[in-house]
Chains A and B, each alone.
Chain A
Amino acid sequence: NAGVMQNPRHLVRRRGQEARLRCSPMKGHSHVYWYRQLPEEGLKFMVYLQKENIIDESGMPKERFSAEFPKEGPSILRIQQVVRGDSAAYFCASSLGLAGVTDTQYFGPGTRLTVL
């Protein structure tokens, strides 16, 4: 399966714990995007990364949230000290990363985070 992989698919955390969501892009893709989907809402952009670089984090809350896409390994979205309002589906998408050109983003299955 050469698609975008996300794990875990479901994650339950208690308030105050940390959540780590992982995303492996499609083979050959060097750009990763994270989106959050709240109930009754569409997907909202959080952060856009290339390998080892954050390109745009304008959609990510300034506190408690961080993201990385290391040279080796998956992209990680990290939420520290989770609160109930963080409960949502988190989707990762990847694209080839063609300079200056729009290319298609392909989505993973998402991680559903539930904060108790």
Chain B
Amino acid sequence: AQSVSQHNHHVILSEAASLELGCNYSYGGTVNLFWYVQYPGQHLQLLLKYFSGDPLVKGIKGFEAEFIKSKFSFNLRKPSVQWSDTAEYFCAATRAGTALIFGKGTTLSVSS
């Protein structure tokens, strides 16, 4: 069955620390991958997406993610987090014409 798993349920970092959130997917065939962010009290916003091409994808607010096909992974990274990055982060996958399958989310807490 198709699935997306996020390894970290809750990550706590200090400002300026580096961030890496893990995401693995289980999908046959071509897959498209997304990271969404949900800031407290707000709706989901798209951080970045991978459809094809360069496996290193850059998104908004300094985030990037790397698609590693051999590892079925799409980890999210940011070299230096800020307090304002405190949010819940969701990895999701889909194929053309189908709905997104989400991971359970990772809550990131950044202390100033």
Contacts and interface: CB of A to CB of B under 8 A. Distances in A.
Given A104-B49, A107-B36, A45 B96 contact: no
Contact of A43 (B32, B42, B95, B102): B102
Contacts of B43: 91, 107-110
Contacts of B49: 104
Contacts of B98: 48, 56
A95 to B, nearest CB: 10
B9 to A, nearest CB: 9
Contacts of B95: 102
Contact of B99 (A40, A59, A107): A59
Contacts of A110: 43
A34 to B, nearest CB: 9
A33 B97 CA distance: 11
Interface string A82-106: 0000000001010000011110111
B32 A102 contact: yes
A44 interface: yes
Contacts of B63: none
A15 to B, nearest CB: 27
A28 interface: no
B46 A104 contact: yes
B82 to A, nearest CB: 23
Nearest to B94: A102
Given A33-B100, A42-B90, 4 more contacts: A40-B104, A43-B44, A43-B90, A43-B92
Interface of B: 4, 6, 32, 34, 36, 42-46, 49, 51, 90, 92, 94-105
15 contacts: A42-B4, A42-B102, A43-B90, A43-B92, A43-B102, A45-B99, A48-B98, A48-B99, A56-B98, A59-B99, A104-B46, A106-B46, A107-B36, A107-B44, A107-B45
